[in-house]
Amino acid sequence: MGNFQYDITVIGSGPGGYVAAIRCAQLGFKTAIIEKYNALGGTCLNVGCIPSKALLDSSEHFFNAQHNFKTHGINLSDLKVDMNQMIERKNQVVNQTVEGVRFLMKKNKITVYHGIASFENANTLLITKNDGSTETITSDKIIIATGSKPSSIPGVEIDKKRIITSTEALNLKEVPKSMIVIGGGVIGLEMGSVFARLGSKIQVIEYTDSLIPAMDHDLGKEIQKVLTKELSFEFYFKHKVTAAIVKEKKAIVTALNPDNQEVLFEADYVLVAVGRKPYTEGLGLEKVGIKLDNRGRIEVNDALQTNVPNIYAIGDVVRGAMLAHKASEEGIYLAEKLAGQKPHINYLLIPNVVYTWPEVAGVGYTEKELQEKNIPYKKGKFDFRNLGRSRASMDLDGFVKILAHKETDEILGMHIIGPRAADLIAEAVVAMEFRASAEDLAIFSHAHPTFAEAIKEAALDATAKRALHM
């Protein structure tokens, strides 16, 4: 490429950006990455996937010690939460992971710049560092991977003290007595679970009539049942939040109920978990004329190319699911495409996961989507409670649901709520990438006793109602 300092420069070091940079370097491109913060890793590693899973694990241990150990014959007394230690362990997990990314940058000879990148022209980026100094670099191709930020709704101003987002919730040094969660999506349910397990009363206010609406409807119904039963969650559906204020260390939320009457909720904290918005501020996109769509996302074509031919965009800042593995897949796809290879991404087979307990995971078409598309399908379902493995670990809630084409038997969707669903869904992805039939999964051996046996049983049920253990 030659005329520029770098062949490829990536803006943003989240799972989209840093993975794209590694793959570009592996393919022989002279690569640079620019990150605004001192820590690499983006939302996912610093204030998203990794810290939330660290706290989900810690809180799950506490909940089990408090509620389930006795049944296992383990008696504990004087059980307490040490919130400072819990947060400290979470921070260590984050730091180790972030340092891992720095090591990978060095190993792959990727030049790392810290500062805010903004376009001077299509090949020139100005980097403004924390101390105000600036540096200019040039690059043949530029990949924007600037991710997303929490969004809010009209009337709800995030003060980061009582009215908070997931970022602040991940650093709370006390267990709130009560927390209102605005939004029944993934982040609301995961963070709500953390605090409910530690003893907080959780009230979820949701605008629509169901939880995790992007996933198969049955999963939302089941997780609602389990969170109500196990963690005493209270759910308020079809409620439109109109305001949130703080009054003497209490947060008060006003909402319109389904009858359009105003109702008030009060709690120690309000967690605003209504989604995330693409982050493009400070990039100077207007200088190069990069187009945004009507939701503020950078517009890209199928090759992830913007309307400026040498500038590309991936991850949360473009259309599609806001998921770390989707961002990474796009990073790899793009690097390989720029190297002249013929990569592919099957967006239908990017799994969705919620790390509640039980976990929730789905891939492929939901039942509603199949009905809307008029695709004839059959269904197989198997409850985890029928498995010896589930009884052994006291993980009885949930099921595997397989949707297969009515005539060809090809698997079109798999939806799991149950123990280790986040890991189990990988079997569905592999099967569906190879266009397996339900019969294929039904005849393959699954080790006993494992949670994966529920997949085989659901596949048997889908093929000819041949499930063995129900």
Ligand X SMILES: Cc1cc2nc3c(=O)[nH]c(=O)nc-3n(C[C@H](O)[C@H](O)[C@H](O)COP(=O)(O)OP(=O)(O)OC[C@H]3O[C@@H](n4cnc5c(N)ncnc54)[C@H](O)[C@@H]3O)c2cc1C
Q: Which residues are catalytic?
A: 448
Helix-, strand-, coil-residue percentages of the chain, each rounded to 5: 35, 25, 40
The upper half-sphere exposure of residue 32, i.e. CA atoms within 13 Å in the direction of its Cβ, equals 22
Task: Give yes or no for residue 283 binding ligand X (CB under 6 A).
Answer: yes
87 Cβ contact list (under 8 Å, min separation 6): 171, 172, 173
Among residues 4, 37, 69, 237, which is the contact residue for ligand X, using CB under 6 A?
Answer: 37
Task: Give yes or no for residue 93 binding ligand X (CB under 6 A).
Answer: no
Beta carbons of 104 and 22 less than 8 angstroms apart: yes
First to last CA, the chain: 63
Task: Give yes or no for residue 290 binding ligand X (CB under 6 A).
Answer: no
- Residue closer to ligand X by CB (options 42, 418) is 42
Task: Give yes or no for residue 323 binding ligand X (CB under 6 A).
Answer: yes
Task: Give yes or no for residue 166 binding ligand X (CB under 6 A).
Answer: yes
Binding mask 39-78 vs ligand X (x if CB under 6 A, - otherwise)?
A: ---xxx---xx--x--------------------------
Instruction: Tell me the site size for ligand X, rule CB under 6 A.
Output: 36
Q: What is the DSSP string of 323-344?
A: -HHHHHHHHHHHHHHHTT----
Task: Give yes or no for residue 285 binding ligand X (CB under 6 A).
Answer: no
In this structure, the strands spanning 178-182 and 269-272 are parallel
Can the peptide bond before residue 309 be classed as cis, meaning omega within 30 degrees of 0? no
Count other Cβ atoms within 10 Å, centred on residue 468.
11
Q: What is the DSSP string of 79-95?
A: ----HHHHHHHHHHHHH
Task: Give yes or no for residue 140 binding ligand X (CB under 6 A).
Answer: no
Among residues 34, 86, 431, 438, which is the contact residue for ligand X, using CB under 6 A?
Answer: 34
Length of the chain counted residue by residue:
470
Binding mask 261-280 vs ligand X (x if CB under 6 A, - otherwise)?
A: ------------------x-
Question: Which residues ranging from 2 to 31 are in contact with ligand X (CB under 6 A)?
Answer: 11-17
Among the candidate windows 69-77, 146-154, 247-255, 459-467, which touches ligand X by CB under 6 A?
146-154
- Residue closer to ligand X by CB (options 282, 388) is 282
Task: Give yes or no for residue 306 binding ligand X (CB under 6 A).
Answer: no
Applying CB under 6 A, the residues found at the interface with ligand X are 11-17, 34-37, 42-44, 48-49, 52, 116-117, 145-148, 166, 187, 279, 282-283, 315-316, 322-325, 327, 355
